[in-house]
């Protein structure tokens, strides 16, 4: 009996060793490839957002006929609107394009004198900036994966109007209706606080040349003078973007 058990144990040992040797000779299965997770903050793509802030305009109204200055005012108001754009990330650098449109509440009034048209009397010029629109290219550098500092520049359009009044005749001339074309430059910082969502703070300056709008102010028995109005605009805006 003992010899039978010993022979059975020996046979099992030999069989187990043979099976292990055969298993060792089989090719091993390659591990399943698991792609690395995407980075948490991706700047490449397009976005849509809204903004709000303050804007101020330096409005000049000049008498083109006489060469005199009629009114120079600096007016401050509310600005708010939206933006759409696209970015492309190259390492720590981000480049892109953006269009932003904002309505404003900028308005003001100033008294002026013009002896040729008004004689000894005075008049007032009311000015208003209705909206501005900018189309810019921007470039920035990521000081952290989710914090971008950038500069931008491009074309700007604005609708500014000026109306001249006299105490005797009421409104005697105005310039409005057409958008004015100029340029803009600015910069800011954008923080992606969670993937796809970011907030920004920026400053922009918009210049519109030497003459933006022309209109005539006339007085009975005297004739007409041609006035010009321009408005150079600055703004400080905060906004939010959703990236998709």
Which tens digits make up the pLDDT trace of 94-116? 999 999 999 999 988 887 777 77
Q: How many structural domains does the chain have?
A: 1
* pLDDT band at residue 208 under the 50/70/90 scheme: confident
Instruction: Name the token pair of 3.
Output: 């010899």
CATH number at residue 153: 2.40.160.20
pLDDT at 32 (0 to 100): 83
Would you say residue 14 lies in a domain? no
Structural domain harbouring 151: 45-243
Instruction: Show Cβ contacts of residue 159 under 8 Å, excluding neighbours closer than 6 positions.
Output: 129, 130, 131, 132, 176, 177, 178, 179, 180
User: Which pLDDT score is estimated for 239?
Assistant: 98
Domain assignment present for 12: no
Which residues, 6 or more positions from 224, have their beta carbon under 8 angstroms from its beta carbon? 216, 217, 218
- Tens of pLDDT, residue by residue over 147-204, are 999 999 999 999 888 787 876 655 566 665 557 889 999 999 999 999 999 999 999 9
In a domain, 90, yes or no: yes
Q: What is the DSSP letter of 210?
A: S
Q: How much of the chain exceeds pLDDT 70, in percent?
A: 80
The answer to the question of residue 11 being in a domain is no
Q: Identify whether 187 is part of a domain.
A: yes
Q: How confident is the model at residue 148, as a pLDDT?
A: 98
Nearest to 138 by CA among 119, 125, 154, 151: 151
pTM: 0.77
Residue 39 lies in a domain: no
In a domain, 181, yes or no: yes
Residues 196-205: tens digit of each pLDDT: 999 999 999 9
Instruction: With respect to residue 88, please indicate whether it lies within any of the assigned structural domains.
Output: yes
């Amino acid at each position: 009996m003992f010899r039978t058990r010993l022979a059975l144990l020996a046979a099992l040992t030999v069989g187990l060793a043979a099976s292990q040797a055969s298993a060792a000779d089989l090719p091993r299965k390659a591990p399943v490839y698991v792609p690395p997770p995407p980075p948490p903050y991706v700047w490449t793509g397009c976005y849509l957002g809204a903004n709000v802030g303050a804007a101020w305009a330096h409005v000049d109204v000049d008498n083109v006929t006489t060469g005199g200055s009629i009114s120079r005012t600096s007016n401050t108001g509310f600005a708010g609107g939206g933006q759409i754009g696209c970015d492309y990330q190259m390492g720590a650098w981000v480049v892109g394009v953006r269009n932003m449109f904002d309505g404003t509440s900028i308005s003001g009034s100033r008294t002026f004198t013009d002896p040729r048209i008004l004689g000894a009397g005075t008049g007032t010029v009311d000015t208003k900036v209705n909206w501005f629109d900018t189309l810019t290219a921007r470039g920035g550098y990521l000081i952290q994966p989710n914090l971008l500092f950038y500069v931008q520049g491009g074309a700007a359009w604005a609708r500014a109007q000026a109306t001249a009044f006299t105490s005797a005749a009421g409104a005697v001339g105005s310039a409005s209706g057409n958008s004015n074309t100029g340029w803009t430059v600015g910069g800011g910082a954008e923080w992606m606080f969670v993937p796809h969502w970011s907030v920004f703070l920026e400053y922009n300056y918009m210049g519109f040349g030497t003459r933006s709008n022309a209109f005539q102010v006339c007085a009975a028995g005297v004739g007409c003078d041609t006035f010009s109005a321009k408005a150079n605009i600055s703004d400080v805006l905060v906004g939010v973007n959703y990236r998709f």
